[in-house]
Amino acid sequence: MVAVAILAAGRGTRMKSDLPKVLHKLGGRSLVERTLASCNLLKPSRSLIIVGYQANLVIENLRQNEGLEFVNQTEQLGTGHAIQQLIPHLRDFNGDLLVLNGDVPLLRPETLEKFLKIHKNNQNAATLLTANLPDPTGYGRVFCDSNNIVSQIVEHRDCTDAQKQNHRINAGVYCFNWPKLAQVLPKLSANNDQQEYYLTEVVDYLNPVMAVDVEDALEITGINDRRQLATAYDILQIRVKDNWMKAGVTFIDPDSTTIDDTVQIAPDVIIEPQTHLRGETIIGQGSRIGPGSLIENSTIGENVTVLYSVITDSQVQSNSRVGPYAHLRGHVNIGQACRIGNFVELKNSQLGANTNVAHLSYIGDATLGNRVNIGAGTITANYDGVNKHRTQIGDNSKTGSNSVLVAPVTLGENVTVAAGSVVTKDVEDDSLVIARARQIVRKGWRQQK
C-alpha cells in the first residue's frame, strides 16, 4: 500500500511572485498539477497535498482531481515540518509514503513506478531519487557509500567547499516506510543556515536509506526561479515534439514552435515555423498549420490549412482553408471546404459547407448556410451599443462588397445583396436586395471656377 504526499505549502520566494510557486504554469498546467499527474500509474490509496501559502488557490487549482486530502501547514517552517503535519492524518497507515516536492514537475510516471519497486524489493526504511548533475547549484548533496547507502544529505547553502564538489543531488523524491518515518520525524532540529526543519535530516536516523540514480537527469529538474521554469519548459517541449515526430508529425522548424502536452496531432500533419498549439487542441490528419499561427482549445479537421492565423475555442471541418490573417474566436464552427481570410474576423458564428468569407470581413453572432459567398468587406453589425444580435444567411446567398448586415436580420436562401448595401430588414428567398442611394449622374455638369 502506498500513499502519496506532495509538498505544496511554500511561497517560493525565489520566484519573486505573489502566486505560490507551485501554481506557476508550465505548458498550460501548474507545477503541482504536473507533480500530481506523475503519480498516475501508482494508484495510491491516499493522496495528501500539504498546503499553506495561499492554500485556497492551490486547493482551487487541484479541484478537478478526486479524492485528494489537503493538509494545512499554517506556518512554513521547512520540508520536514511539512511532513510532520501528516502524523495525525496517517495514524493508522502502515504502508509506504511517497513524498514529492510540488516543484518537480517533469517526472515520468514510469520512473516513479520503478523507483517504488526498488524501495519495496530492498525493504528500505527510505529510498531517495538522486542524479549526478554537471551543475548541482542549489540542490542538496547526497553522500553515500559504494553500495548507495546514504549517510547524509547536506543542503547547498550548508555545504563546505569540499562538500560542494559532490555532484550527486537529492531530487526531492522520497519513498519512506511510514511507521519508521513517523517515529523519527519528531527528532528534527532546525540547526542549519535557514533555521528550517529539513526533511532530509531524517536520513540521519533511518536505516537503511538507499539512493537510486534517475536514468534521465532532466526529469528531476526542480523549479525555484524563473530561469529554471524556462529551462523546464524547454525540456518539456523537446519531449513533446519528439513524441509527435515519432508519431508521424513533421515540424519544419521545431525550435520556433511550441506545443502544449495537452494537444493531439494526427499523423501526416505538417507544423510550419512559428506555430503555437495550446490547451485542448486537436489537429486532424494531413493538415498544414502555420507558419505564424496560434491555435488554442480548438479542433481542426483533416486536410485543413491554417496560414498566419489565430484560432481560439473554435472548430474547423475538413478541407477548409484559413488565412492568411484570419482570427476565429468565441465558438466559431466552420463547415467543410470553406475559405476564410485574408483579414477576416469571425466570432461566435456557424458556417455551413463550401462557404467563403474571403476578404476583409467581420462576421459575429451569425449563422451562414452552405455555399454562401460573403463579399469583400461585408460586416455584420451585431451590436447596438447594449445588446448583441444574430444574423442568419440561407444557403447559396451572396453579399456584395462592402455590405453591412444590421442585426437582428435574416436573409433567406439564394439572396443577393447588392454591393454597398446596408440591410436592416429581413429578405425573402430568391430576392435581390439593394439598400443604398441610387447613383445619380448629371451629364455635362462641371464645377464652375
Interface residues with ligand UD1 (CB under 6 A) are 7-10, 21-22, 50, 52, 73, 76-79, 81-82, 101-104, 139-140, 153, 155, 169-172, 198-200, 222, 224
Length of the chain: 449
> Per CB under 5 A, which region of 179-187, 222-230, 279-287, 411-419 contacts Ca ion?
222-230
Minimum CB distance to ligand UD1 smaller for 105 or for 290: 105
Q: How many residues line the site for Ca ion (CB under 5 A)?
A: 3
136 is an interface residue for Ca ion by CB under 5 A: no
Minimum CB distance to Ca ion smaller for 105 or for 222: 222
Minimum CB distance to ligand UD1 smaller for 5 or for 360: 5
Burial of 441 (0-12, 13-18, 19+ CB in 10 A): exposed
The values of phi and psi at residue 246, to 5°, are: -60, -30
Q: Report d(CA 247, CA 116) in Å as an integer.
A: 30
290 contact choice in Ca ion, ligand UD1, none (CB below 5 to 8 Å, kind-dependent): none
Minimum CB distance to ligand UD1 smaller for 163 or for 318: 163
One DSSP character per residue, 70-116 reads: EEE-SS---HHHHHHTTTTTTTT--SEEEEEETT-TT--HHHHHHHH
Q: Report d(CA 382, CA 406) in Å as an integer.
A: 7
- Choose, by CB under 5 A, the member of 27, 222, 284, 335 that binds Ca ion: 222
Minimum separation from the CB atom of position 51 to Ca ion (A): 16
**Contact between 352 and 369 (Cβ < 8 Å):** yes
| Long-range CB pairs of 252-257, under 8 A, 24+ apart, other chains included | 252/290, 252/291, 257/290
Minimum CB distance to Ca ion smaller for 192 or for 401: 192
Give bridge partners of residue 310 from the DSSP assignment.
294, 327
The grid coordinates of residue 274 equal 512559428
20 is an interface residue for Ca ion by CB under 5 A: no
Minimum separation from the CB atom of position 235 to ligand UD1 (A): 15
User: Is 327 one of the catalytic residues?
Assistant: no
The closest residue (CB) to Ca ion is: 222
- 61: which residues sit within 8 A by CB, 6+ positions away? 23, 30, 32, 33
Tell which residue, 436, 387, 395, has the closest CA to residue 413.
395
Minimum separation from the CB atom of position 48 to Ca ion (A): 19
Residues that bind Ca ion (CB under 5 A): 103, 222, 224
List, by residue number, the catalytic residues. 359
